[in-house]
Structure 1
Amino acid sequence: MHDNQPRTSTSDTLPEVITRYLTAHHAHDTATAIAAFTREATVTDDGNTYEGTEAIRRWLDRSATEFTYTIHLVGAQQTNATHYTATHHLEGDFPGGTIDLRYQFTLRGGLIEHLVIEP
């Protein structure tokens, strides 16, 4: 296997900081979720980019109350030492009702530096 080939993983093989963030985000535990990010982290979701922990905190608080939905991890991949993708299936009261979203993580120093969420 070439080093640049993505490796399919399960949630068990995602780094602890990613599973801690995902668990906290789904539980609406903003304090724990925000602690998984670097101070200069960025999150891009639905075409908007949030820079820094205060902007990310506001995004987390809003996303926790905007819609009601269930979320299930359906796949995980490690692209290289610092890049991971976790694919989630969501069903809920948002427009369209169901969607698969890729959460693309870039880690630095054991924390999340960048997160891009897109279909």
Structure 2
Amino acid sequence: MQSSEFPVLVAAFIEATNRGDLYALLELFAENSLVNDQLVDYWGMESIRRWAERDVVGAHVAMTVVGSVTQYEQVIVTAHMDGDFDKRGLPNPLEVTLYFSVHDGRIVQLIILRNLSGT
């Protein structure tokens, strides 16, 4: 896989998320992918579908990318996230980091974290 394919998949993920397009979102993942959203694992397409329906599409999540870097086999995206979810105790804007791993043209792992600054 060429490195230029990584940003295309990541852009497609952000676009599908922002449109609330469940089917376009799910087509980006490999069958046995892992999504870890805030330390909760979702293994396999059925579990990822339930997560996406509830926590992405159902919560009307929208992301604005504020930075990204490609490192080896990962694309790491920093984004401001908004939506219809409980924001008590969260900063505004809510900044999250998404770690995408890709294989054979599909997302095989996505880890989403609210990181704290290490500096």
TM-score band, normalised by shorter chain: 0.7 to 0.9
Q: Where in structure 2 are the equivalents of 1:35-74 lying within 5 Å?
A: 35-63=27-55, 64-66=57-59, 70-74=62-66
- % of aligned pairs identical? 24
Deviation, 1:17, is 1.4
The answer (yes or no) to whether the contact 2:68–2:77 under 8 Å persists in 1 is: yes
> Quick one: which amino acid aligns to residue 100 of structure 2?
F
**How many residue pairs are counted as aligned between the two chains?**
106
* SS of aligned partner of 1:15: helix
1:85 match: 76
Q: Distance in 2 between matches of 1:113 and 1:27?
A: 22
Looking at secondary structure, tell me which structure has more strand per residue: 1
Residues 1:19 and 2:14 are matched in the alignment? no
The gaps in structure 2 that reach 5 residues or longer are 115-119
Q: Distance in 1 between matches of 2:77 and 2:105?
A: 17
Q: Relative to structure 1, is the Cα distance of residues 84 and 54 closer, same or farther in structure 2, using a 3 angstrom cutoff?
A: same
Q: Distance in 2 between matches of 1:30 and 1:77?
A: 26
Deviation, 1:65, is 2.2
Deviation, 1:99, is 1.5
> Quick one: which amino acid aligns to residue 26 of structure 2?
I
Q: Distance in 1 between matches of 2:25 and 2:82?
A: 22
Q: Distance in 2 between matches of 1:25 and 1:89?
A: 13
Stretches of 4+ aligned residues off by more than 6 angstroms: none
The gaps in structure 1 that reach 5 residues or longer are 1-11
Q: Provide TM-score, normalisation by structure 1.
A: 0.79
Q: What is the Cα-based RMSD across aligned positions, in Å?
A: 2.0
